[in-house]
Amino acid sequence: MTLDPVLSRIDADLPQALDRLMALLRIPSISTDPMHAADCAKAADWLAEDLRAIGFDAAPHVTPGHPMVVGKGGDTGPNLLFYGHYDVQPVDPLDLWDRDPFDPALEDTPAGKVIRARGASDDKGQLMTVVEACRAWKAVNGTLPARITMFFEGEEESGSPSLVPFLKDNAGMLTSDIALICDTGLFDAKTPAIVTMLRGLLGEEVTITGPDLDLHSGMYGGAAMNPIRALAGIIAALHDDTGRITVPGFYDGVPELPKAVAAQWQGLGFDAGEFLGAVGLSTPAGEQDRSALEMIWSRPTCEVNGITGGYTGAGFKTVLPSKASAKISFRLVGQQDPLKIREAFRAMVREMLPPDCTAEFADHGASPAAQMAIGDPAFEKARQALSDEWPNPAAYVGCGGSIPVAGYFKEVLGMDSMLIGFGRDNDAIHSPNEKYDVESFHKGIRSWARILAALAG
């Protein structure tokens, strides 16, 4: 099996590939809205039928929520699992869209032609790059270069409640040599990336109660403890003067960045001033001995996401509140244990409480970080294949956000994941006027064809 005819087929078939993507984008598969349950089922059926047209044994699988689509094809070579999701975010506020979000269209922009629609980048356009690469391989060679399992979820945008049970119940059907996830992006327009570090996430909400009702500050101010004051002191103590997080044991399991990866990152030419300047800032605010790129890709964080307490309406009210609360998130790396950090954080809060105050806690999820074993030769094969397609060499990068499915694949199925995507920072995913560059779609298909060839040897 040779690669060049496959790439030529991809180039020639691009108009038809775009038509197929447009058909999928027209289905309003919003997983969070029960009124769109039938649309999610329709999208699952569409994908299963399209996979069968390529020769996959494919079908939707019923779950307590939206269907999972599983397709199997190929009979030789390594076992590869491709993951993507067909559900999309809601479109509100609709009045900020320049066109119907489920009436996809090609648009010319100063940076090139784009596909405009909800789900164009997240994740239907990305998902279809993999499908189209397989279509071209099958058309040219009559078979696939590897044993490929397609696994498409319909609840990623609504918390994936059915995912882990489905993985456990169908481990034999899904377990492969490696998982390939197409839900990430390029480093920049000319530089592809393989995400090898995903931060975990711990969400905590703390409510501090002082007096048993709101008090008049003229009658009680000074004599009564103010819960906002207590909360502010605790929040201020979560970081020291150098930006380090002070929760006891917080840095247990935090690794140093490997020298080879650090050298790659240095070569990316990341401009911290430009990065912060784009949002009206100028000075990195985290750990003072770390670069901005390290801070967003490979270092843990503690951030306050919201504070409430007292009177916040129009005008002024001299109230001393009964309660004050804060929502706090921790991004985790390496081997940090989210449950241990949760207990350490709560113990720290309780220890800092002044007299007459109590604390209540609510958890908002806890998932560990995922770090991929880049010593696996498959990673370097894929990196070289990407480098052959794009102007700049591909880089191993971190991801500041959290993509739980990669951790679930490791925890439940024992598989490492490669996260390779072709989205761009300005794709406006989750926002009005979402788009996906035609170049990303086209070169994404070609990239997956190259990666398939490389992994199949």
- What are the structure tokens assigned to 77, written together? 């070579």
Encode pLDDT of 127-180 as tens digits.
Answer: 999 999 999 999 999 999 999 999 999 999 998 999 999 999 999 999 999 999
Q: Is the pLDDT of residue 267 over 70?
A: yes
Residues of the chain above pLDDT 70, percent: 100
Mean pLDDT of 295-324: 96
Asked if residue 455 lies in contact with residue 27, where contact means CB atoms within 8 angstroms, the answer is no
At what angle are helices 37-54 and 124-141 packed, to 10 degrees? 20
Q: How far apart are the C-alpha atoms of 115 and 119, rounded to whole Å?
A: 10
d(CA 451, CA 433): 31
Kindly state the average pLDDT of the residues 243-260: 95
Specify the DSSP element, H or E, that contains 112.
Answer: strand 112-116
Residue 195: what pLDDT? Answer: 94
Return d(Cα 174, Cα 410) in angstroms, integer: 12
Residue 271 has pLDDT above 90, yes or no: yes
DSSP state of 336: -
Predicted confidence (pLDDT) at residue 326 exceeds the cutoff of 70: yes
Tokens 């819960």 identify what position?
A: 227
pLDDT per position as a tens digit, 346-401: 999 999 999 999 999 999 988 888 888 888 999 999 999 999 999 999 999 998 87
Query: Residue 145: its pLDDT value, please?
Result: 95
Does the pLDDT value for residue 10 go beyond 80?
Answer: yes
Task: Tell which phi-psi region holds residue 262, choosing left (phi > 0), alpha (psi between -120 and 50) or beta.
Answer: alpha
Q: Give 245's DSSP letter.
A: B
For 130, the 3-state DSSP assignment is: helix
- Report which of 447, 358, 402, 445 is spatially closest to residue 203, judged by C-alpha positions: 402
Q: What is the pLDDT of residue 252?
A: 98
Report the predicted TM-score, pTM, of the whole model to 2 decimal places: 0.86
Of the pLDDT bands very low, low, confident and very high (cuts 50, 70, 90), residue 1 is: low
Among residues 24, 177, 145, 73, the alpha carbon closest in space to that of 449 is found at 145
Question: At 305, is the secondary structure helix, strand, or coil?
Answer: strand
Task: Say how far apart CA 101 and CA 436 lie, in whole Å.
Answer: 13
Work out the average pLDDT over 85-104: 97
Report the pLDDT averaged over residues 66-86. Answer: 97
Mean pLDDT of the 255-283 span: 92
pLDDT at 19: 98
Please state, in angstroms and rounded to a whole number, the distance separating the CA atoms of residues 323 and 208.
6
Residue-range domains of the chain with CATH: 4-198+369-456 (3.40.630.10), 200-254+300-366 (3.30.70.360)
CA neighbor of 379 nearest in space, from 422, 421, 416:
416
